[in-house]
Amino acid sequence: VRFCRFDRDRLGVIEGSAVVDVTSLFDLWPVWPPVQGDWIARQLVGRIDEFENALSGRKRLSLDAVRLEFPLVSPGKIVGAPVNYRAHQAEAQADAKINFGRKIAQIGEIGLFLKAASALSGPADPVRLSFSERRNDHEVELVVVIGKEGRSIPRERALEHVLGYSVGLDMTVRGPEFPTFRKSVDTYAVVGPWIVTADELPDPSNLKLTLKVNGEERQNASTRDMIFDVPALIEYASKFYTLYPGDLIFTGTPEGVSEVKPGDILEAAVEKVGEMRIAIAPDYTA
Ligand code: MN
């Protein structure tokens, strides 16, 4: 299914051009004692068939008439894959405004980074540009949403731990600081417009990613060019930390990153997942 959150506190399944309200299928209060992970994602694991069978007779709204939100509530962590496409490595190594004099190493050498969960932003929300005197870039990425909890997950079993996929924008302030710092600004982790569950998208290894700025195409690539594919990323990340329901993995951006300015409109899309139109709002720190 395509699972969404809408109008702030409603949970839905997309059916054609409608949203079916499935809020009543969830326990809406966090549990006590608390559990790790996102409490909506935790309730989706293993229940997709039940959801599909529970759609008839429920309230339906036009997709045009609702406000889509970031599809989960409180992911425990956002894992980021740095330099996971060779052509992006080459462009970053060639551009001093991206590399700030550093050698751009590949993912296997430098590991992963984390983005702050407070940076999460939904498909109807603008990115509030910060530090606009510096270079701020778009990075369109496939986002993996973890379902089943696991640690030290072998690549052969990795996709069993995936709840689904979303489109992501790993917004980035360029500069000499740690990536985790520059990529954790409020609203710099855009995820949406919904989660396509893995039963509908069993193979994430050949999906087209595109990004346009003001209608002009800047990024156009395929997930087949990842250096660490989705199973490898899950294997690698879970060697270091337990992956919990709702944890997000930003899988890295392909070539074509470029600067954004206040007033720009981004259109980010991943084939078979969805597309988002995101406004860049004026400088938030000014
Ligand atoms: Mn990135």
Residue 22 has pLDDT above 70, yes or no: yes
Q: Which residues pair with 143 in a beta bridge?
A: 166, 250
Residue 216 has pLDDT above 80, yes or no: yes
Residue-level pLDDT at 31: 78
Residues having C-beta closer than 5 Å to ion ligand 1: 139, 170, 253
Contact assessment for residue 163 and residue 149, using Cβ atoms and an 8 Å cutoff = no
In 3D space, the residue among 149, 142, 145, 197 whose CA is nearest the CA of residue 170 turns out to be 142
What is the C-alpha to C-alpha distance for residues 146 and 130, in angstroms, rounded to an integer? 29
Residue-level pLDDT at 78: 98
Residue-level pLDDT at 286: 61
Q: What is the pLDDT of residues 227-266, one digit of tens each?
A: 999 999 999 999 999 999 999 999 999 999 999 999 999 9
Q: What is the pLDDT of residues 106-136, one digit of tens each?
A: 899 999 999 999 999 999 999 999 998 999 9
Confidence of residue 226 (pLDDT cuts 50, 70, 90): very high
How close is the Cα of 21 to the center of ligand 1, in Å?
33
Q: Which residues pair with 175 in a beta bridge?
A: none
Q: What is the pLDDT of residues 184-204, one digit of tens each?
A: 999 999 999 999 999 999 999
Contact assessment for residue 38 and residue 227, using Cβ atoms and an 8 Å cutoff = no
How close is the Cα of 250 to the center of ligand 1, in Å?
7
Does the predicted model carry a pTM greater than 0.85?
A: yes
Residue-level pLDDT at 285: 73
Amino acid at the residue 255: E
Residue-level pLDDT at 33: 86
CA angle (63, 64, 66) in 5-degree steps: 70
What is the C-alpha to C-alpha distance for residues 207 and 224, in angstroms, rounded to an integer? 7
What is the C-alpha to C-alpha distance for residues 147 and 10, in angstroms, rounded to an integer? 20
Q: What is the pLDDT of residues 34-89, one digit of tens each?
A: 889 999 999 999 999 999 999 999 999 999 999 999 999 999 999 999 999 999 99
How close is the Cα of 172 to the center of ligand 1, in Å?
8
Of all residues in the chain, what percent carry a pLDDT higher than 70? 100
How close is the Cα of 201 to the center of ligand 1, in Å?
22
In 3D space, the residue among 205, 191, 193, 173 whose CA is nearest the CA of residue 247 turns out to be 191
CA angle (88, 91, 94) in 5-degree steps: 150
How close is the Cα of 142 to the center of ligand 1, in Å?
10
Taking residues 169-198, report their average pLDDT.
Answer: 97
- Per-position DSSP letters for 208-222, written without gaps between them: EEEEEETTEEEEEEE
What is the C-alpha to C-alpha distance for residues 161 and 260, in angstroms, rounded to an integer? 34
Contact assessment for residue 107 and residue 275, using Cβ atoms and an 8 Å cutoff = no
How close is the Cα of 160 to the center of ligand 1, in Å?
24
Rg (CA), the chain: 18
Contacts 24+ apart (CB under 8 A), 220-224: 220/256, 221/85, 221/87, 221/254, 221/255, 221/256, 222/254, 223/142, 223/251
Q: What is the pLDDT of residues 90-109, one digit of tens each?
A: 999 999 999 999 999 989 99
